[in-house]
Structure formats: C-alpha cells, structure tokens
C-alpha cells in the first residue's frame, strides 16, 4: 500500500441512498480518503450508458457524517466521468469501487450492469477499479459477510495494482459461510426473456421485461460455478472487445472493392 492515505472513489448504480453503497463507504473509510459520486436515482440495467442529449447536474450532499458525497443526475458511467473531470480535476483517485450492488452481476450481466460499467469507466481512465455485487436484490440485503473480503481485495489492489486495461468483477453468494475467493472466467449464459404483457386503463398493451437465467456452460472455472459452491467469484474484466481469434477467418473472406 502507498505510504500516503489513498483516495478512493465510491460509485454505484442503485443510487446514493442504497444500503449497499453505505456498506461500501464504511469499509473504504478504513482504507483511505473516500469521495462518493453516485446517481440520484436507481440506475440498474443502465449498462455503459452515458448522457449526451441532455445536461447533467452534480450537487454536493450531506448524507453520512464526515463523508464527501455528490449526487449526480446521470448514469453510473457519467458519475465516474464527472468525478474525474469536475471533482478530481484531472488528478486520479488511487482506487474506484462500485457497489455493493443489490443483486448479482456475474456472467453475461457484466454487460447490462451499471455497477460494472462504472468500474469499466474507471479502468478506462487508468484507475484500478472493482465492482462488488451481492446475490440479494432486496433493500434488506445483509452485506456483513462480504465486508472482510471487500476490504482484503481492495487492499490487494491498492498494493499490487491491476494489469493494464483490466478491472475486477467481484460477486458474493448470499450466504453467511463463504468458502473464500475463486478467480474465475465469465460463464457462458444469457437471459431467456419473457415479456409480461398487461393492458393499461386505456386499453393499450404494455410490457414488463422478465426473464430466466439460462446457463450454457458446465465449466468449474466460471463465476456461476464458484457462486453456486459458496465461493466469492472474482473475474478479471477487460474492455477490449475485439474477438482477436476471429481476425484470421475474416481475412479469408473476399469483400467488394
């Protein structure tokens, strides 16, 4: 760990008043100076959305004692961008942590998750970044069993750094007796959507997105396997989305000129 007290940016996607961010703030205060920038409303499922078509607000607020906090009218990725440009003014925090999300962000959920996208945005900015999520969607979620792992993982990232252009996606099963940490890969899976069709009072249909998680992966090296077996899953995530292995194949195609 650095000799100076590290500066830690805390963000989330459930909004600045979510219990999960409060739990994360309290752990991070044991490690350094904390600055919180979080959405003013829940932003679950926002993925890596950024706000282009309308302006943003950023206001300092007092919620928890002795905590520097800002609420942002934008998305989780906007929070990181505004923190960097407006609060840190180009200097970089030593760590960016996102969460603790109320609900899992394992496997394919990394794409849909505002929590993870905030951490991806941190990593794009060259800040060592980690997303934390617990398998409990309720506001009554018990984060207590996660806290010692979160502190340990954050300490290790502060000490060792992370490989370039890489962040960590950490998920916790909703269990008291966690068996430790497993380094994993993202399981192959998707959501099988089922839209719940209803009719409004004016006779027009509307649809709620629902779905069933469909696992297509029997590997024992995946985050899904680790979570099912009571481990904390840690997936290193990159934001180079190039399918490098497909380049030679495509080079054999004959394109028009």
Stretch that binds a copy of itself, among 2-10, 61-69, 93-101, 237-245 (CB under 8 A): 237-245
| Residues 81, 50 contacting (CB under 8 angstroms) | yes
Residue among 64, 185, 213, 215 that touches a copy of itself (CB under 8 A): 185
| Residues 240, 165 contacting (CB under 8 angstroms) | yes
Report the residue number, 85 or 218, with the smaller CB distance to a copy of itself. 85
In angstroms, the CA 58 to CA 172 distance is 31
Stretch that binds a copy of itself, among 20-28, 32-40, 60-68, 191-199 (CB under 8 A): 191-199
Q: Which of positions 32-61 make contact with a copy of itself (CB under 8 A)? A: 42, 44-53, 55-58
- Position 241 contacts a copy of itself (CB under 8 A): yes
Residue numbers belonging to the annotated binding site for a divalent metal cation = 13-14, 44, 101
**Locate tokens 């409004």: which residue?**
200
Q: How far is CA 187 from CA 224, 225, 254, in A?
A: 6, 8, 34
Q: Which of positions 131-170 make contact with a copy of itself (CB under 8 A)? A: 148-149, 152-153, 156, 160, 162-163, 165-166
Report the residue number, 66 or 132, with the smaller CB distance to a copy of itself. 132
Q: At what angle do helices 147-160 and 19-29 cross, to 10 degrees?
A: 50
Q: Which of positions 71-90 make contact with a copy of itself (CB under 8 A)? A: 75, 77-78, 81-82, 84-86
Q: How far is CA 172 from CA 46, 145, 158, 216, in A?
A: 21, 9, 21, 21
Handedness of CA 218, 223, 228, 232 (dihedral sign): positive
Q: Which of 31, 46, 37 is nearest to 9 (CA)?
A: 37
Shortest Cβ 65–a copy of itself spacing (Å): 26
Q: How many residues bind a copy of itself (CB under 8 A)?
A: 80
Report the residue number, 7 or 105, with the smaller CB distance to a copy of itself. 105
- Position 91 contacts a copy of itself (CB under 8 A): no
Shortest Cβ 125–a copy of itself spacing (Å): 7
Residue among 30, 193, 220, 228 that touches a copy of itself (CB under 8 A): 193
Report the residue number, 152 or 229, with the smaller CB distance to a copy of itself. 152
| Residues 171, 232 contacting (CB under 8 angstroms) | yes
- Position 203 contacts a copy of itself (CB under 8 A): no
Report the residue number, 65 or 246, with the smaller CB distance to a copy of itself. 246
Give the number of C-alpha atoms closer than 13 A to the C-alpha of residue 111, restricted to the C-beta side. 9
Residue among 5, 207, 219, 229 that touches a copy of itself (CB under 8 A): 207
* Strand runs labelled E in 103-204: 129-134, 166-172, 181-183, 189-199
Q: Which of 234, 188, 184 is nearest to 215 (CA)?
A: 188
- Position 92 contacts a copy of itself (CB under 8 A): no
């Amino acid at each position: 760990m650095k000799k100076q007290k590290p500066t830690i940016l805390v963000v989330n996607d459930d909004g600045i008043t979510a219990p999960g961010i409060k739990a994360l703030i309290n752990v991070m205060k044991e490690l350094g100076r904390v600055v919180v920038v979080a959405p003013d409303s829940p932003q679950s499922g926002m993925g890596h959305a950024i706000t282009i078509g309308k302006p943003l607000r950023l206001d300092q607020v007092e919620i928890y004692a002795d905590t520097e906090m800002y609420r942002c009218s934008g998305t989780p990725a906007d929070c990181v961008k505004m923190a960097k440009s407006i609060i840190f003014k180009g200097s970089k925090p030593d760590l960016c942590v996102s969460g603790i999300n109320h609900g899992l962000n394992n496997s394919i959920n990394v794409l849909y998750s505002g929590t993870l996208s905030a951490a991806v945005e941190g990593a794009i900015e060259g800040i060592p970044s980690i997303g934390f999520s617990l398998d409990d969607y309720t506001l009554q979620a018990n984060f207590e069993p996660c806290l010692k792992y979160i502190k340990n993982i954050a300490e290790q990232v502060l000490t060792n750094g992370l490989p370039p252009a890489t962040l960590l996606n950490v998920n916790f099963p909703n269990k008291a007796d966690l068996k430790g940490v497993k380094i994993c890969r993202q399981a192959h899976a998707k959501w099988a959507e089922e839209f719940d069709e209803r009719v409004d009072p004016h006779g027009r249909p509307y649809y709620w997105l629902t779905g069933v998680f469909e696992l297509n992966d029997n590997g024992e090296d995946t985050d899904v396997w680790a979570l099912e077996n009571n481990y904390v899953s840690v997936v290193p995530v990159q934001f180079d989305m190039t399918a490098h292995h497909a380049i030679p194949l495509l080079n054999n195609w004959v394109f028009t000129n």
